[in-house]
Structure 1
Amino acid sequence: MRQLPFKQVDVFSDQPLLGNPLAVVLAADELDDARMAAFARWTNLSETTFLLEPTDPRADYRVRIFTTLTELPFAGHPTLGSCHAWLEHGGVPKGKEIIQQCGIGLVRIRRDGTQLAFTAPPLLRFEAVEAQLLGQILPGLGLMPDALMDARWVDNGAGWLALRLRDRAAVLALQPDYSALPQGLAIGVFAPWDAQRDGPDAQFEVRAFIPGDGMPEDPVTGSLNAGIAQWLLSEGLAPDSFVVSQGAAMGRQGRVHIQRSAQDIWVGGAVVTCVDGSLTF
Structure 2
Amino acid sequence: MPSFPYETVDVFTDRPFGGNQLAVFTDARGLSDAQMQSLAAEMNYSETTFVLPPDDPAHDARVRIFTRAHEMPFAGHPNVGTAFVLARHGRDRGGVLRFEEIAGLVEVKVARDAAGTVTGATIAAPQALTKSIELPADAIAACAGLSPSDIVVTNHRPVRASVGVFFVLAEVTLEALSRATPDLSRFRAVRDSTPGLEGRFSLFLYARDGASDIRARMFAPISGTWEDPATGSASATVAALLLSLGSQDDASFTLTQGVEMGRPSLLHLTARRGEDGIRATVGGSCAQMFRGEALL
Which residue pairs with 1:164 in the alignment?
Answer: 171
Report what 1:204 is aligned to: 214
Does 1:186 pair with 2:237?
A: no
Structure 2 match to 1:55: 55
Structure-2 residue corresponding to 1:245: 256
CA distance in 2, matches of 1:227, 1:121: 11
Distance 1:52 1:170 in 2: 42
Deviation at 1:215, TM superposition (A): 2.5
1:129 aligns with 2:127: no
User: Equivalent residue for 1:118?
Assistant: 123
Deviations 1:90-127 (A, max 9, x none): 3132x552111111121111123433101123256414
| Aligned counterparts, 1:85-96, within 5 A | 85-93=85-93
Amino acid in the other structure paired with 2:160: W
Q: Which residue of 1 aligns with 2:9?
A: 9
Moved more, 262-271 or 39-48: 262-271
Helix, strand or coil for the counterpart of 1:190?
strand
Q: Which one has a larger percent strand, Structure 1 or Structure 2? A: 2
CA distance in 2, matches of 1:219, 1:240: 24
The gaps in structure 2 that reach 5 residues or longer are 113-118, 192-199
User: Once the 2 structures are TM-superposed, how far is the Cα of residue 274 of structure 1 from its aligned partner?
Assistant: 0.3
Q: What TM-score do the two structures reach when normalised by structure 1?
A: 0.89
Q: What displacement does 1:223 show? A: 0.5
1:161–1:188: 8 Å Cα contact kept in structure 2? yes
Q: Aligned in 2, Cα 1:237/1:142: closer, same or farther, shift over 3 Å? A: farther
Paired letter, 1:186: S
Alpha-carbon contact 1:118-1:268 (below 8 Å) kept: yes
CA shift for structure 1 position 262: 7.1
> Residues 200-251 of structure 1, C-alpha deviation per residue, up to 9 Å, x if partnerless?
xx71101111022333211100110011010012223997222100001101
Amino acid at match of 1:154: A
- Aligned equivalents of 2:286, 2:97: Cα separation in 1: 15
- Residues in 2 aligned to 1:45 and 1:192: alpha-carbon distance in whole angstroms: 28
Q: Is the 8 A contact 1:123 1:227 kept in 2?
A: no
8 A contact 2:5–2:292 mirrored in 1: yes
CA distance, structure 1, for counterparts of residue 140 and residue 252 of structure 2: 31
Moved more, 170-179 or 38-47: 170-179
Contact 2:123 2:282 in 1 (8 A): yes
Structure 1 Cα separation of the partners of residues 129 and 282 of structure 2: 18
Q: Give the C-alpha shift of residue 253 in structure 1.
A: 1.2
Contact 2:140 2:158 in 1 (8 A): no
CA contact (8 A) 1:45 1:214 kept: no
Rounded Cα–Cα distance in structure 1 between residues aligned with 2:288 and 2:251: 30
Match of 1:46 in 2: 46
1:269 aligns with 2:272: no
Task: Tell me if the contact between 2:65 and 2:74 (Cα under 8 Å) persists in the aligned partners.
Answer: yes
Query: 106-115 or 48-57, which moves further after superposition?
Result: 106-115
- Is the alpha carbon distance of 1:81 and 1:253 closer, same or farther for their aligned partners in structure 2, counting shifts above 3 Å? same
Three-state SS of the structure 2 residue aligned to 1:64 is strand
TM-score by length of 2: 0.84
Gaps of 5+ in 1: 196-201
> Are the counterparts in 1 of residues 98 and 107 from structure 2 also a CA contact under 8 Å?
yes
* Partners of 1:104 and 1:216 in 2: CA distance: 24
In the alignment, the residues of structure 2 paired with residue 211 and residue 135 of structure 1 have an alpha-carbon distance, to the nearest angstrom, of 19
What is the number of residues matched between the two proteins?
271
| Distance in 2 of aligned mates of 1:72 and 1:123 | 17
Cα distance between partner residues in 2 of 1:88 and 1:255: 21
Check whether the contact 1:206–1:245 (CA below 8 A) recurs between aligned residues. Answer: yes
**Distance in 1 between residues matched to 2:256 and 2:270, nearest whole Å:** 15
Root-mean-square deviation (Å) = 2.2
- The C-alpha deviation readout for 1:27-64, integer Å capped at 9, x for no partner, is 10110001001111111110011000001233101110
What SS does the corresponding residue of 1:240 show, helix, strand or coil?
A: strand
